[in-house]
Amino acid sequence: MAVTQSTPEAMFIDGKWIESSSAKRIPVYDPSTEEILAEIPDATNSEMDTAIAAARRAFDLDGWPQTTAQERGRILFRIAEKLRAEAPQLAELECRNTGKPIVEAEYDIADAATCFEYYGGLATKVSGTVNPVPDNALSLSLKEPVGVAGQIIPWNYPLLMAAWKLAPALAAGCTCVLKPAEQTPLTALKLAGWLPELGVPPGVVNIVTGFGETAGARIVESPRVDKIAFTGSAAVGKLIMKSAADTLKRVTLELGGKSPNIFFADADFEAAIDGALFGVFINQGEVCSAGSRVLVERSIYSKFVEAMTEKARNIKLGAPLDRETKMGPLVSREQYERVCKYQQLGRSEAKVAIGGGQPAAFKRGYYVEPTIFYDVDNSARIAREEIFGPVATVIPFEDEQDALRIANDTPFGLAAAVWSRDIYKALRMVKAIRAGIVWVNHMQPTYVEAPWGGYKQSGFGRELGLHGIDEYLETKQVHINLNEQPI
Ligand code: TXE
């Protein structure tokens, strides 16, 4: 294993830059030009095992869990400060690697910093409880870190997803082996390079690059990893659960969705149209909580589809670094091909209001047209399967009961939104929708203070908020006998 210079084109293991023992490297692309931006190592089992061993040592022997909560909190604040200081270069790198518009990338970096700040503050707020057992004993519940956390993240919000995983784990006193998506590892590696100067000891955070089926699978099967936190596809989530069963690891999964964005006739019409477009087209639709099923009450249905279509015409596709750009290319050729297939399928399953193909204006880059299919039946594949691209399926409904039936008729349950001025109706919907996140008269706002995660096949466990740190903690019951002679 060769140790290279301090470059983000290597892996960060045990505080050092490490190359893969296999000569193979993985090209990382700029999806707007299809050019190679960088090449990263393709980790073998040997490097992954080294990273896991380093995390194990940092947890078991080097005393990371025993550092004071204040110290861990201070380190997280320093990371947040560094992210804010380096935000322009991070946003540019994220933008070039994912294809997302620069303005959206800037929000992501700020959100990542906020996440480290939040968990920096929370580090000192973790405490156990005293249990009300009979008077002859004292019963305590202690909160302790789970151990080594294996963290596998996707490509749609690369640095933000790294922050959602690393910040609560570190605050709790866990050590981490994080595998970024093979398509978008660059900002996580950048962050890794700053960790030593910010006070993160060797082995506490390891960033290992590689493919899911090899490097990712190795983390999941390792008996030396205590917990897996995964964000990605439901298909891989199922594989992870099966594999983790062999070692009975703790598992949290944040998977995909087919979230209903529900518009009643009494909603503020202009806000509703904006909410429908924003809900499904932000980040090119590559969002787990995308409002990809737009449910519209029959009495406003035609007007709604027309207005949505009209406004969608103004979405400016362009170079991700151009500040005027509202939609960039998809992240990879693979994702582009996947979305193009769904566009083709949609043309046979429903009517096209706008889009449905590839824009002629671009000679290069994985651009697809913002697409609105309407008169979609909820049983159509485009209404049931996660597309993860800028493709809206508009579905009419008759009344509240019908809206609810369609909204819940999905294997997923990540998010939903309800638009209405009738607070009683909106709240009835909120209670009856089977999803982990429900927005009213809004779609997509995400706050680090509030729990994030899904029902049904959108996974389980919660990130963010107080719940987010709990997923990295074990509970130990302590019983102290208060009689000199136990009875
Ligand atoms: O995801 P994968 P892909 C959905 C979305 C998208 C589809 C496919 O619908 O179209 O998934 O995207 C790692 N063991 N989401 O193929 O494969 C992989 O290396 C361990 C929704 O990119 O799930 C990467 O780091 N790890 C989602 C991560 O898992 C494995 C975000 C995600 O990749 C693995 C992304 C394995 N066997 C895609 N196979 C969301 N919930 O936001 C892959 N990986």
pLDDT grade, residue 9 (50/70/90)?
Answer: confident
Ligand 1 center–CA 236 separation, angstroms: 6
pLDDT grade, residue 5 (50/70/90)?
Answer: very low
The pLDDT of residue 482: 95
Q: What is the pLDDT of residues 42-68, one digit of tens each?
A: 999 999 999 999 999 999 999 999 999
CB atoms closer than 10 angstroms to residue 344: 12
Task: Check pLDDT > 60 for residue 1.
Answer: no
* pLDDT average, residue stretch 341-363: 97
Q: What is the pLDDT of residues 90-110, one digit of tens each?
A: 999 999 999 999 999 999 999
**Which residues have CB under 6 Å of ligand 1?**
152-156, 179, 181-182, 211-213, 216-217, 220, 231-233, 236, 239-240, 254-256, 288, 338, 386, 388
pLDDT grade, residue 3 (50/70/90)?
Answer: very low
The pLDDT of residue 8: 67
Q: What is the pLDDT of residues 323-350, one digit of tens each?
A: 999 999 999 999 999 999 999 999 999 9
Residue of 301 and 7 predicted with greater confidence: 301
Task: Check pLDDT > 80 for residue 362.
Answer: yes
Q: What percent of the chain has pLDDT over 70?
A: 98
How much is the mean pLDDT over the chain? 97
The pLDDT of residue 487: 66
**What is the value of pTM for the model shown?**
0.97
Q: What is the pLDDT of residues 154-213, one digit of tens each?
A: 999 999 999 999 999 999 999 999 999 999 999 999 999 999 999 999 999 999 999 999
Q: What is the pLDDT of residues 283-327, one digit of tens each?
A: 999 999 999 999 999 999 999 999 999 999 999 999 999 999 999
Task: Check pLDDT > 50 for residue 352.
Answer: yes
Give catalytic status of residue 306 as yes or no: no
The pLDDT of residue 240: 98
The pLDDT of residue 485: 80
Which residue has the least CA distance to atom 19 on ligand 1? 212
Give catalytic status of residue 340 as yes or no: no
* pLDDT average, residue stretch 277-288: 98
Lowest mean pLDDT among 19-33, 114-128, 427-441: 19-33
The pLDDT of residue 398: 98
* Index of the ligand 1 atom closest to the CA of residue 153: 25
Ligand 1 center–CA 476 separation, angstroms: 34
Among 288, 297, 386, 463, the one annotated catalytic: 288
Mutate which of 157, 233, 249 for ligand 1? The one with the most ligand atoms within 8 Å of its CB, which is 233
Q: Is there a contact between 260 and 407 (Cβ–Cβ < 8 Å)?
A: yes
Residue of 179 and 6 predicted with greater confidence: 179
